[in-house]
Amino acid sequence: MIIKSQAIEGVFLIDIQKNVDERGSFSRIFCERELKESGIDMSIKQINLCENLKKNTLRGMHLQKEEYAEKKILTCLNGKIFDVIIDMRTNSKTYLKYFSVELSEENGYMLVIPEGMAHGYVTLTDDTKLLYYMSEFYNPDSAIGYRFDDPAFSIHWPQIEELIMSDKDKNWKYI
């Protein structure tokens, strides 16, 4: 695992090292010791699998209120997504700044998202599958979100036509 810190504090991109031979491949996708050595301290309370049927599906921008704030590690197991996180920590020097990256089964990257970040993505291919490691249990009463197209964030999304979104995501408020 090659773990690289990013411009937003607590955000890391992990390059999974794939060992390939005539049988196939083997990759370590979680190692508590290696993560801790890089400053990532996380206990896993929940693992989620998210499947998206169609290209242009947008989910976000989601987070949980502070008392249930969660750290996430996610990867794209199938297909490709454009992933975005926004720093919503008011005491952070990168407050309202965002980080984006393409995650795909080809690049195998994993993204570490610290507490206090709004998270969302748009699928760039049909049939995408994402695996999430969560530091907290989901609490529906604590779930909040923001508009993906809020001008306060100035996110440069890929050119997408006819987004597929839930009504909930369509109706999040602007900041």
Residues with active-site annotation:
62, 132
Rg (CA), the chain: 16
For the cut 90, the answer to whether the pLDDT of residue 84 exceeds it is yes
Instruction: Answer yes or no: is pLDDT of 11 > 90.
Output: yes
CATH class, range 2-19+32-170: mainly beta
How many whole angstroms separate alpha carbon 33 and alpha carbon 29? 12
Give the pLDDT confidence of 32-47 residue by residue, as tens digits.
Answer: 999 999 999 999 999 9
29 against 132, higher pLDDT = 132
The predicted pLDDT at position 83 comes to 99
Average pLDDT rounded to a whole number, residues 13-22: 94
Contact 36, 96 (CB under 8 A): no
Signed CA dihedral, 95, 115, 13, 140: sign only:
negative
Angle at 74 between CA 72 and CA 75, to 5 degrees: 175
| Percent of the chain surpassing pLDDT 70 | 100
What value does the mean pLDDT take over residues 56-75? 96
pLDDT of residue 104: 98
8 A C-beta contact, residue 28 and residue 16 = yes
Complete DSSP assignment for 85-122:
EEE--TTSTTTT-EEEEEEETTT--EEEE-TTEEEEEE
Strands 46-52 and 58-64: unpaired
What are the residue ranges spanned by the domains of the chain? 2-19+32-170
| pLDDT number for residue 160 | 86
